[in-house]
Amino acid sequence: MLIKLIPVAPQPTVLFSFVFQNLEDTGVDNIPSGWETQLSALNRDGLELPKNLHALDKAAGIPALIEDVVFSVPALTVVCRYQDGAVEEWPLMEQSCLDTLDNVIADVMESAVEMRREKEREDAGKETTSDRAREKRRERTVGNKKQMSLINSLLSSTAHNTHATFEMALASPGPSATRFPESSRESMSSRALRRRARSTLVDAFRRYVLPELSRRFRKEGYCVWVIDSMIKRAQLRMDELVQLGYGLPDLIASPSRVQHSPSVKGSAEESDDDETDTDASSIRTPSATDIFPSPPGQYQQSSLSSPSTYYFDYYSRTSTKTLSPQELAEYSAFSALTRRLRKLMATAQTDHEHMENERRHQYDVLEVRSRRRAYINGGFARHGGPSVALSTPYKSSRLAQQTWSGEDFEYAPLREDDKEDESFLRAMGLAASDDVPRPPSRLFVPYDSDEEEEDGCSTDIQRGLELLGLATPSTSWKSLLHEEPAEPPMYSEDDPHLPNPYDDMDKDMSAIVRNVYIAGDGEEWSGDSPVPAF
């Protein structure tokens, strides 16, 4: 992928190549299993294989398929071109992106200035080194003159040292007398500035270009992208053949066959000139020699043209040129290829939708389990943080007030009769006074079987009968229904010593209804008097 930044004139254009190395070049023998599955599917369906295996990856797939990206600051546009010739363009309106590109230009300009300074300092250092070497050779020549007298030696050495010192002071100043300011030494090197410019440019692509490409790119991945690319290129070549022959009555059924396609740069002379341009985005299929006899440069040049619309009147327009048998066979091959690719496209889209539905269902199940775990474990709700946001309940749970287990509910000790009766009346809403507060809400564990439910109902009925005075805690209400009663003693009016079995029943009924008031009357009704009529 080539990233190109076109600034405002007269600033220079910035180019940077960003490449993902193939795994074979890095020494990796085994590729990921997901990539192997996609490669086998591409080979089975006869589709084009990617130039770089990183095109099969979800994270690096789009940058691996991009041929070049152009940031045009004067036009305020971003242009991205894929390997198959497809072009994506949109306006560049974000001020933060423009500021980032300005920083890239500033780093590049400063790097160029710093590079010139470094070169000048290097040349000055070389000159100083050569002067010192020349001076050392002169000193050796003077030292080898052993036949001179002492006076001549002293005079010659003194004069030579004075002349050499004066010459060095004029010819080469010391390192401290440099022409560059001190601030240039503390600045970054040209290499560091270039690296920062490249990093900033790649970061601009990641922040402002890649999200837009991800939104426009197909969610199904490389397989559907290459199918769509092959369909577009095949349809483009079919339109070129139709334009050359002005209609193919044996192959075209109706005018609705014509579709919108990129414009073709149209004459045979221009096509011959374009044959010299080659590009790696040629169409590669299993039957490439039969289906794509023309050079790939023609398709590449056509795919980069501006889109337009062609209208062919197959019924009123007469054909001025007949296609050769080779061109007819090429059109038939493209037509069959297009139909097969459309079937593969529909199948791939259906499989992708099925996978997305399964993934969405898994996420829903995970959310339900997380919320349930959050309700059970109150620690997430009280001490939750951003790392456990999925397990945090969105509202307070009733289980946080009081928690009962199954054993506590089943083996709860029985209380005294008075307290139990009072609590039962309060729970049933039959308490004498409404000022008494009700007990807090509790968790009632559901019964796991019909037997436990029957036992619970029996307990409630037993308590109700005890409160009404129809049963005692020692006797069960089931004995009144299911067990056979004991044989009553024979009663005879002739024998006055035998008790009347109905006397107790009359007394019990009198005791039950003694305190019952009739609506509209204030008098108590006794069991001996007849029941008043309403």
Give 181's pLDDT tier (boundaries 50, 70, 90).
very low
Give 99's pLDDT tier (boundaries 50, 70, 90).
very high
Please check the confidence at residue 70 and state whether its pLDDT lies above 90. yes
Please check the confidence at residue 208 and state whether its pLDDT lies above 50. yes
Least confident residue range of 197-206, 269-278, 470-479: 269-278
Q: Where are the alpha helices (H) located in 377-500, listed in sequence order?
A: 379-382, 406-410, 417-427, 450-468, 477-481
Between 378 and 383, the higher pLDDT residue: 378
Question: Which pLDDT score, from 0 to 100, does residue 422 have?
Answer: 62
Give the whole-angstrom CA distance, residue 5 versus residue 16.
9
pLDDT by residue (tens digit) across 167-177?
Answer: 444 444 444 44
465 contact partners, CB below 8 Å, separation of at least 6: 471, 477
Question: Which pLDDT score, from 0 to 100, does residue 196 have?
Answer: 92
Q: Residues 455-483: what's their mean pLDDT?
A: 60
- Tokens representing 524 are 């108590």
Question: Which pLDDT score, from 0 to 100, does residue 203 have?
Answer: 92
Q: Are strands 77-82 and 14-17 parallel, antiparallel or unpaired?
A: unpaired
pTM, entire model: 0.47
Give the whole-angstrom CA distance, residue 83 versus residue 63.
11
Question: Which pLDDT score, from 0 to 100, does residue 144 have?
Answer: 55
Give the whole-angstrom CA distance, residue 531 versus residue 131.
143
Q: In what order do the strands lie in the sheet with 2-6?
A: 14-17, 2-6, 66-72, 77-82, 87-91
Question: Which pLDDT score, from 0 to 100, does residue 261 have?
Answer: 39
Give the whole-angstrom CA distance, residue 70 versus residue 68.
7
CA torsion through residues 246, 248, 252, 253, sign = positive
Give 81's pLDDT tier (boundaries 50, 70, 90).
very high
Between the ranges 22-31, 78-87, 309-318, 325-334, where is the mean pLDDT highest? 78-87
Least confident residue range of 31-45, 433-447, 456-470: 433-447
- Nearest CA-CA partner of 83 in 340, 299, 336, 349: 299
Give the whole-angstrom CA distance, residue 211 versus residue 377.
39
pLDDT by residue (tens digit) across 387-431?
Answer: 555 455 556 666 666 666 666 656 555 555 555 556 665 665 555
Under DSSP, is residue 407 helix (H, G, I), strand (E, B) or coil?
A: helix
Between 36 and 270, the higher pLDDT residue: 36
pLDDT by residue (tens digit) across 286-307?
Answer: 443 343 444 333 333 333 333 3
**29-36 long-range Cβ contacts below 8 angstroms, 24+ apart:** none
Between 311 and 91, the higher pLDDT residue: 91
pLDDT by residue (tens digit) across 262-283?
Answer: 433 444 344 344 433 434 333 3
Q: Residues 51-55: what's their mean pLDDT?
A: 86
pLDDT by residue (tens digit) across 315-354?
Answer: 334 444 677 888 888 888 888 888 999 998 888 888 888 8
Annotated domain spans of the chain? 2-20+60-216, 221-269+278-397, 406-487, 488-534
